[in-house]
Chains A and B, each alone.
Chain A
Amino acid sequence: MPSIKKNIISRFLSLIPVLLLLFLAFSETDFTFEKLSFLSFNLIYIIIFYWVLKNPEILGYGFIFLSGIVNDAVVGLPIGVSSVTYLILAGFAAYIRYLTVQPSIVSDWIVFIPAIAVTNSVYFYILRIFFDINVNYISLLLNTGITILLYPVFWVLFSFLANKIMKERNV
């Protein structure tokens, strides 16, 4: 009986990243600081990068693709833009995963900078060149900067969750 209970807890904990990703894509929740409305960050990017880098079994590529489609529909972008950008970010993370021998918060953080820079550039150019949609690049740049700055905070939180999942699985 205790092993069944542990198994259920472990499964539930493993579902948290996927549920959080889909919830953020579907819901109106945005991460804009109330007093400084021009400052915002993209938690979806952090979730995708962290979990694909640490444990891709938990966050399937199919879910990343689906969350992109949903996000595009909700935000009002051409369907597929977010999927492409999310999957490029996941590609970066997967590539680094194959190359890194000993991951650490600093190495992950450093790699996250070019990954998010390339991802947001692709996002900007697809919208600007192919669909002629103006995007406020100062806001996009600020959003990128804040997301990079906050990555270590979420790294610590997600690492706690990842350790908990591992612990429950091993038990």
Chain B
Amino acid sequence: MATSGRDDLSIAIRSAFLKKGNKQKFSLLALIIASVLLLSLESFNSKSLNFVRSVIKDIIYRTSFITSIPGNTIDPIITTIQSHFKIYDEHELLKLKLEQLENEQNQIAYLKTENDKLKKAIDDNNIFSYETVISKVLVDKESPYLKSVILNKGFKDGFKKGMPVLKGSYFIGRITEVNYLSSRVLLINDLNSKIPIIIEPNGYQAIMSGNGQNHAILDFLPKEHQIEVGNVVYTSGTDGIFQPGIPIGKIELNKGKFQINFFSDLNQLYFTNVITSKPIQDEQ
């Protein structure tokens, strides 16, 4: 009895994995082996292999962009309809905000002039100047566990691995994969993202780690710190890869723990600025 049960089991397994079945061109086992072979090729780095990978990915990204057009067209239409219902409330709110902004603008203009004078005084006015290339987000397939987007420019436009990516003037991630016509940005909220930061005004250095949510956590903070809610987080540039002083977000308190709330909404990325110039090294 036991032998026949085992026989049935092995027949079922063999039938499932080895038989091709009607209208099937490949057996499951053959395709699993092919997938494992492809996976093992991932660890090989040769010029020709990278070129093939780059071409395949470019084709897939472009096709993905085309197949996403219907969805991307419908979304703004729905948003437009919804926003029409809120127009009056928004108008009142905007009037109020405009007044506040006008006040702030006057203050900013004054502070800017003062800041320029101070920068000249310390001869450090080049630190925040960098060249950027505008790039459009081609695909933003938001996986629940991996946070990245694909840009429509690649090494043809001078993109390289590690280059910082901004939305407006705020830091949102770095380039982790470059193809000929496209590149992938690992966003700062991805679990695998670790960025050296500086928290102002006290100048504490730490590592910002993504956690898959719309905020990040702080690692390696000094034990005796005096961080406060509202402190601003910038890239520290200590790794020599990123420019220092790019704003990232603000410190907030959540369930008794400090976290970084980003200035940019990472779910709403359409255009990005990629910094293509190298960071200015400390000349000391």
Contact = CB atoms under 8 A, between A and B. Distances in A.
A43 B11 CA distance: 30
B31 A65 contact: yes
Contact of A57 (B23, B36, B146, B177): B23
A143 B42 CA distance: 27
Contacts of B34: 65, 83
B26 A38 contact: no
Interface of B: 8, 11-13, 15-17, 21-28, 31-32, 34-39, 41-42, 53, 56-57, 60-61, 63-64, 67-68, 71-72, 139-146, 148, 150, 176-177, 184, 186, 191-192, 211-214
Contacts of B15: 94, 98
Given A56-B24, A74-B64, 15 more contacts: A27-B64, A28-B68, A56-B22, A62-B25, A65-B35, A69-B38, A70-B64, A73-B56, A74-B150, A76-B176, A78-B42, A79-B39, A83-B35, A95-B16, A135-B145
17 contacts: A29-B68, A38-B144, A60-B23, A61-B31, A75-B146, A79-B38, A79-B39, A79-B41, A80-B37, A83-B31, A83-B34, A87-B31, A94-B28, A97-B16, A98-B11, A98-B15, A136-B145
Contacts of B184: 76
A16 interface: no
A23 B139 CA distance: 14
A159 B37 CA distance: 35
Nearest to B13: A95
A105 interface: no
A73 B212 contact: no
B142 to A, nearest CB: 5
A87 B16 CA distance: 11
Contacts of B21: 56-57, 94
